[in-house]
Structures are given as C-alpha cells and as structure tokens.
Structure 1
Amino acid sequence: MNLQHTRLNSIFATLLAIGLALPASAVEITDNLDLGGAIRGRLDYDPDRDLSKFSFDTFFLTADYHSDTWIAAAKYRFYGDAYPFDYTDKVGDISFAEYAWVGYKFSPEQQLQVGQTPIPFGLLPYFGSTFFESLGNVIGLEDTQNIGFKYLQQSGDWDLQAAYYPIPAEQGEGTSRGGRTYGTNVATADDYVVDGSDNHEQDIFVGRLARQFEAGGWKSEIGLSGLASTLENQDTDRDGHRYTAALHFSGKHGAWGVQAQAARQQMTPKNPGDDRLVTFGSFDGTFNVAAKGNLYLADLSYDIAGQYGWLSGIKLYANYSLFDKDESAFQDSQRFIAGSSFSFGPLWIALEWLHGKNDPYIGGSSYTQSLGAGGSDRWENQLYSNIGYYF
C-alpha cells in the first residue's frame, strides 16, 4: 500500500473512531436544538481505469432548531485529501454549506423559510432512491440549493411550495472558479472547460404543486413544477433566460415503490461564443450542459422488512435517467443505477453499480463535455459504495 493510501485510510480510521465514540443519534443540546453530523468513506472500483480506492469521503455537521413558531436548519460539508479531491492537501480544502435557513411557522400547515434552501422542484427530496442520484442532479434540478425565500403550505391532500431566489448558492472553499458548491448551479467556467461560459443566474422563481391520493392500494402523488430565471452573461452584459417544467409521479404499495418524472429544460444564454451550451458547476469543478433538452427518469424500489443479524432497513432499487438533447449533433446522456442501501450495525451503507453513457461522473467519459456535445459515447461502468456513521 502506498503512502497516499496509508494516509487516507489513517484519516478515515481516525474520524470513524471519533464518530463511534459519539452516540448514534443527534445530540440534543436543548429541548429545541439538536446537533449532529456524519463521517463517511467511499469505495470506487473501475478496472477499465485501473481505479480501486477506498478512501475518506466527507465529514459534515448539522444543526436543527424547532419550536412552536420558529424553525431553522444548517448543514456544512468538508472534503479534501482523498479521491477525487486528492489534489488538495487536507480535509477542509474543499468545503461548503449544503443549506442554512431560518423559518417561521404561521400554522402547522404554513411556513416561510429564508436563507439557502433546497429548491422545490419535481420529486422530493430526490429524483429516486439512489445515493449517487440521477442525471437531474448534474443539470441543476435535483438536490440543488439557492438563497432566498421559500413558502410551504399543506392543505388537505394538496402541497404547495413556491420560492424566489435572488441569487444562487453561496460559493465555499475550493480551487474552482464557479463550482465551489454542493448543489449543481449555473457557473463561471474554469479555464480547462472548452467553450465554457460565464453566466450568473439570478431572479430564480420556482414553484411546485402536488396532490396526494390513494387508488388500488397505492398511496401516490402527482405534481407539476416550474422554474424561470435570468442568465446574466458577464462577457456580453446581455441577459438570457432559463425555463424548466416537470411532471412527476410517485407511488407506494406495500414494499414496492415507483417514481417517474419528465422535465423540459430550455436555456437561451447570450454567450459570446456557443449559445448551445451553458456551464454548470459543483463539487469543485465546472462542465458544459446542453442548453436545451428533455430529462426522463424512472425508479423502482423494494423494501425488505425485518432485521437479519446486524442488517436492517434493506432497500433494493433501480433508477434510469435520460437527458435527451435538442441539438442533433450532440450525443444524449444516460445513467442507470442498480443498488441497495441498508444499515449494518451503526453504519449506513449504499452499494451501487453505476452504468453511464456520456456521463461526466461515470467511467472515462469527458468530464467537461459529456452533458454538452457528448463524451466517449459508449457505456461506462463503475462500482460505488458509500459507508457512513451518522450521529
């Protein structure tokens, strides 16, 4: 084992030992305030790229406040000194807030949140059952956060969420010009991105209306979402726009779960160069995304009840997502994930087979161009696991 692997495993073992010394639940500071977090490791195996690594993934801290009227939540993540961030010197060289907001409850059914919050779009909280998430994440629709105001109202079977974000998520620590965030957002391209752009997204309006219902033994939800924003190009001083709409469905029948979504994203940037591409960024990197296309996804899951020794909470799932680009010269992007998540004693584990085509995060396809013009245009494979101790 080389020095780098020894150092990474030493970091992970030390942090895991600290985590195991803590109680396996959030720490209640007062009747209203809870503090928590997690320490996680990751396994990446791809023989085609001679990739076989078990290393530190992330350490994060959370805070939750709740009373009859006031609520608040925050989560901050730390990365670095391990794959894929082994170009940094220490944990914390890459770090950013996932969310940080304060809210007021007008009633048990109505509340207003102010700060950096997850956008209310499509299937919530994620576009499926997977840990690695779908292509919706890397085109800026799934598990994405911005700064502004979000209103939530539950009225019988109806759920309404509406938000206005003047600005995107706050940039954290890292080496990227515009990708120092957890969620994927429109970004300033790094120098290594060919045909990269410098757009700033602002005045982001997001709305989601969903209705729960029961039919044939299924507990289901169907909903509509929309997003509209301004793309201010820093090179041309001209404003473009981003419009996105989605229809989603989710259902649960006993152990079986089904989710599906179709979304349309259309961006009209005013770039000095290619208007068919918009640069996005997250996790200390930036890459191009096709300006116009449709996102389709489907997710099937099955829960295995009971406890089997140290094993419990077992879920099996499969998720497929397709980013169908308008531009005929661009290669479509696809992602298929089959896997399982479960608890093993004090640990929570996700084990997934990743199968992607023109996917920036799977295999050896182009990181900067796969979601734009395309990458290797062949199916790439990788085994991925995330192992976490949550406290």
Structure 2
Amino acid sequence: MAQDDNEAEKPKLDIGGALRFNYNLSSWKEGQKKRGGDFGYDIFRINAKGSYKDIFLNVEYRLYSESFGGGFLKQGWVGYNFNDQDQIQVGLTQVPFGLQQYNSHNWFFNISYYVGLEDDHDMGIKYMHDSEDFQYQFAFFKNAEELRFGSNTEVSPSRYSYDIAGRNKEINQFNGKFIYKFGKNKNHQIGTSVQYGGIYNIDTEETGDHHGFALHYEYLGEKWNVKAQGMIIEHNPATPDTVNSNVLKFAAYGAPYEVAADFNMYTLAVSRKIPVEIGPISNLEFYNDFGFMDKSEDTFEDSFMNVTGVLVTAGQIYTYIDYAAGYNHSWLGGNFVDDFSVGNSDAKWEARFNINIGYYF
C-alpha cells in the first residue's frame, strides 16, 4: 500500500501534439482556381499536461507559418483541484463566456471566433465548479496575452484568439457563467454568461468599458449535438475625438482588422455522428454551423457565415472536409480590413472548400 501511495504522489507529465496540413480552394482567388487549389502546412503543436498531487498544468504551444503569426502560446495555466468538483486555474486560460469549449464543429469555428467570443484565452484567474446538475465559473482577467510589456506598446497580433488591438487594450475583465443540466442523462444544458471589463486607450490614457451577455443551450446526445446561442455585445472605448468609436481593431494570426463596436450575434450548430467500418475509418460526423452578426450601426452591413462539412476519424488521424461560405467575412472572400465593421453593401457570398488533415498524438 505504501508503494502505491508513493506512485500516486510522483509528478506526472504527458506530452502530446499534432501535425496538420491543409488543402483549400477559394472562390475569390482566380489564380488558385486555375491551379486547382493549394496544399500546404497548417500547424505543428505541442501539448503538455502535468500533475503533482492536486496541482496540475496544461500547456499548448503552436507553430504556424510566419505569415500567420509564427509561434505562440495558445493556452497555458497551472491549477489546483480542491476536490472532484471544484478547481482554480491561473494563467492563460479560457474565458468562461458562451458555449465551450467550442461553439462549432468544423475546422473554421463559427463567426463568434472571429470577434473574440469563441475559445478565447486571456491572462487571469478562474474558479470552476462542475457537479451533476450545475456548472458555474467566475473569473478575473488582468488583460489579454501581453508579449511586449511596454508603457505604451500595442498588443502583438501574434496570438491564437482574437483580442482588442491597435491603440486600445483589454484590462480588468470580470466573467461569470452558469449552466443548468437536465434530462434523463443530463444531456440538456442551458446557461447564461456575462462579462464586463475595461478598454484602456493608449492615446487618451483613459479607460472605457465593454460588456456582454449571452444565452446558450446545448444538447449532448450520443450521436446528435445541437448548439444554439445569442449574444449582446457592446464596447465603449475612450478614444480621441478624431477616432471613430463605432469601430475597434481586433488581432490574431499576425494581422489586425476592424470589428463593429456594438452588435448582436446569433449562432446555430448541429452535428450527427455515424459509426462506420470503412478500412481505418471508424466515425463520420456530419455538421452544419451557422452564424449571423447583426451590427447595431445602421450604416454597417451585417456579416454571415455558414460551414457544412464532415469530420472523418481514422485512428489518430482526423480530417475535416468543409465547405465554408461567408458574406462580409474577412477570412471568406472579404477585403480583410473592415468586413466585420463597416462591411460592403456590394459584397456577395464567397466560399472556400477546405480539407484539413491532422495526426494527433
């Protein structure tokens, strides 16, 4: 028995990761269409999970190409388990707002990701409780990932999740989230999320604010999964009088773009798993993920996104085959600069056929 206790108290470390490649063919890229699309490197990532008694570690570092931001930390925190239901995390941890971990099933995520509202990670401290009937989380985030630590430096765009950038910085954000689980197997989950924080402007040296509210529902069936969500988001930056406060810069993957300061967002994502035995293929998950960004400014054009696809599971290889369509979407045929803010009244739906092949270890 003493030997077993000693084994349980030894530090543990598990190393994993993934190597992914990507093929894409985009409707708005004439040269690419003439070539029949392009196939190349996506990412190499390393994951580490460690534990000692009730203390644990979770880290993920990603290496993209230089044009997509290069290498950066996706997440990284240390934590402590008080018991089986309660824990605390400190570091670059996921913001408890909306459906988690993802509000989507596809490789592109949903439109919520592109405005910093899906799988977002910030620097702070988070308390989590998860029991049979309830889950709740409370968190304080000092700021988004900070890499430069200067007095008046802008945040680096080399990051995984979208955050406020340019001459504004996210500071002192509070989050709360509550989920009620019900049904025979507790596979229905309905919840609400709130967040409030500051926006520090480098030029005026004053602090505005931002706040958000979300209602969300998820059905976690054996084969079916349904995610539905509505959000109300408002930003009030303390910008100079010469700067349009209806628009903010957000950044990730090495480049910034504009996002409307105020908007409502509605998303619906549905998937169906089909077990199969086709050589090494054991499962097919078909899905459709839809998102609508309803901008508050009347002169702005709204943004849409829809992804239809299938996830193919074959041992350690996961392949996403997606047809992603967007309207006033920076990553789907837009001009990248202001699609999520002012938009383009002459925009048309554009689409990208994408195959992402990843070996996960």
SS at match of 2:205: coil
For residues 21 and 86 of structure 2, the distance between their equivalents in structure 1, rounded to whole angstroms, comes to 38
Given the alignment, which residue of 234, 255, 264 partners 1:266? 234
Corresponding letter in the other structure for 1:374: G
* Contact 1:59-1:78 at 8 Å conserved across structures: yes
The match for 1:200 among 158, 166, 169 is: 169
Aligned to 2:191: 223
> How far does residue 67 in structure 1 lie from its aligned partner after superposition?
4.3
The aligned amino acid for 1:223 is G
Q: Which moved more, 1:240-249 or 1:217-226?
A: 217-226
Q: Which residue of 1 aligns with 2:266?
A: 296
CA RMSD of aligned residues (A): 1.8
* Structure 1 outlier segments of 4+, above 4 Å: none
Judged with a 3 Å threshold, the aligned counterparts in structure 2 of structure 1 residues 107 and 218 are, in CA distance, closer, same or farther, namely closer
- Alignment partners' CA distance in 1, 2:45 and 2:146: 17
1:359 aligns with 2:344: no
2:137 aligned partner: 161
Instruction: Say which of 45, 49, 54 aligns to 2:39.
Output: 54
1:33 pairs, out of 13, 31, 34, with 13
Residue type at the aligned position of 1:94: G
Distance, in Å, in 2 between the alignment partners of 1:212 and 1:345 is 32
CA contact (8 A) 1:218 1:253 kept: no
- 1:253 deviation in Å? 3.6
Q: Return the offset for 1:45.
A: 0.4
Task: Could you tell me which runs of 5 or more consecutive residues in structure 1 were left unpaired when the two chains were aligned.
Answer: 1-29, 86-92, 189-197
Native 8 Å contact 1:199 1:234 kept in 2:
yes
Asked whether 1:124 is paired with 2:109, we answer: no
TM-score normalised per structure 1: 0.83
**Counterpart in the other structure of 1:386:** 356
State the Cα deviation string for residues 148-207 of structure 1 (Å, max 9, x = none).
Answer: 1010112331001111011112349xxx9631110110012xxxxxxxxx1011001111
SS at 1:40 equivalent: strand
Check conservation: 1:218, 1:251, Cα contact below 8 A.
no
Matched-pair contact (CA < 8 Å) for 2:210–2:234: yes
Contact 1:293 1:325 in 2 (8 A): yes
Within 5 A, what are the aligned runs for 1:42-121?
42-50=22-30, 51=32, 52-80=37-65, 85=68, 94-121=70-97
User: Following TM superposition, by how much is the alpha carbon of 1:48 offset from its aligned partner in structure 2, in angstroms?
Assistant: 3.4
Aligned-partner Cα distance in 2 for 1:54–1:330: 35
Q: Which letter maps to 1:46?
A: S
Q: Which runs of 5+ in 2 are unaligned?
A: 1-9, 149-153
Alpha-carbon distance, 1:130 to partner? 1.6
Map Cα deviations across residues 119-152 of structure 1 (whole Å, 9 max, x no partner): 1111110112122101111111101110110101
Q: Is the 1:170–1:181 Cα contact (8 Å) retained in structure 2?
A: no
SS in 2 for 1:48: coil
CA distance in 1, matches of 2:110, 2:249: 18
Once the two structures are TM-superposed, the CA of residue 31 in structure 1 deviates from its matched residue by 6.8
Q: How big is the shift at 1:271?
A: 1.8
Q: How many residues align?
A: 339
Q: CA deviation at 1:257?
A: 1.6
Aligned to 1:281: 251
